[in-house]
Chain A
């Protein structure tokens, strides 16, 4: 397996534009996580899916953020409209169901909103 695949790797956009980040989890993994990493706030869990169903979205900062998982092999994180404070590295991770299982991370999408 190629691991967790995120696209794009880098995104530069203007304030007010819509941004869509994409993630392909490892085949067979039931759980998918979206995290945001910044110097100031560290690694924040935004949303967590299990079997394509959102289980916990309490970390989604505001209504401008939305996430979907239409099937087991694809998820998106959308920001509309984007703001400069959304600039961060966004990571997707997947794991098999279970508290003991290892999470595998993608290489991240570095988002810059100017």
Chain B
């Protein structure tokens, strides 16, 4: 079945550092890919998405490119801020998977000033 694997956390960086959170997926069809973010005490909210190969999703300085050849959707940001501290989830939705939304295990990010 469909699955998503994220890099293990937690990740701790200093402010203005470069961020990469790795995400790879397994899907039977051609999924849409998402990154969601969860701030403390809240539900998840969409950060960005990409719906086909080579698409780049971007929002709030974060970017991720849909790489079909490596089945990856890594999240990057050039200069992180303290306010980016949160848990980040990679997810996919696949027509062959009955359109259910499958999440990775999440990566906790802490940014120190």
> What residues of chain A have their CB less than 8 Å away from a CB belonging to chain B?
4, 31, 33, 35, 42-43, 45, 48, 50, 55-56, 91, 93, 95, 97-100, 102-108
Contact = CB atoms under 8 A, between A and B. Distances in A.
Contact of A45 (B34, B49, B102): B102
A31 B97 CA distance: 14
A26 to B, nearest CB: 13
B93 interface: yes
Contacts, number: 62
Contact of B101 (A4, A42, A103, A107): A103
B101 A93 contact: yes
Interface of B: 31-32, 34, 36, 41-46, 49, 51, 89, 93-95, 98-106
A35 B106 CA distance: 14
Contacts of B89: 43
A99 B32 CA distance: 6
Contacts of A56: 98, 100
A97 B99 contact: yes
A32 B36 CA distance: 17
A54 to B, nearest CB: 11
Given A99-B93, A100-B32, 17 more contacts: A33-B101, A42-B106, A43-B89, A43-B105, A48-B100, A48-B101, A50-B98, A50-B99, A55-B98, A56-B100, A91-B44, A93-B43, A93-B101, A100-B93, A102-B46, A103-B44, A105-B43
A33 B43 CA distance: 13
Contact of A55 (B45, B100, B103): B100
A102 B8 CA distance: 25
Given A56-B98, A99-B94, A106-B43, A43 B31 contact: no
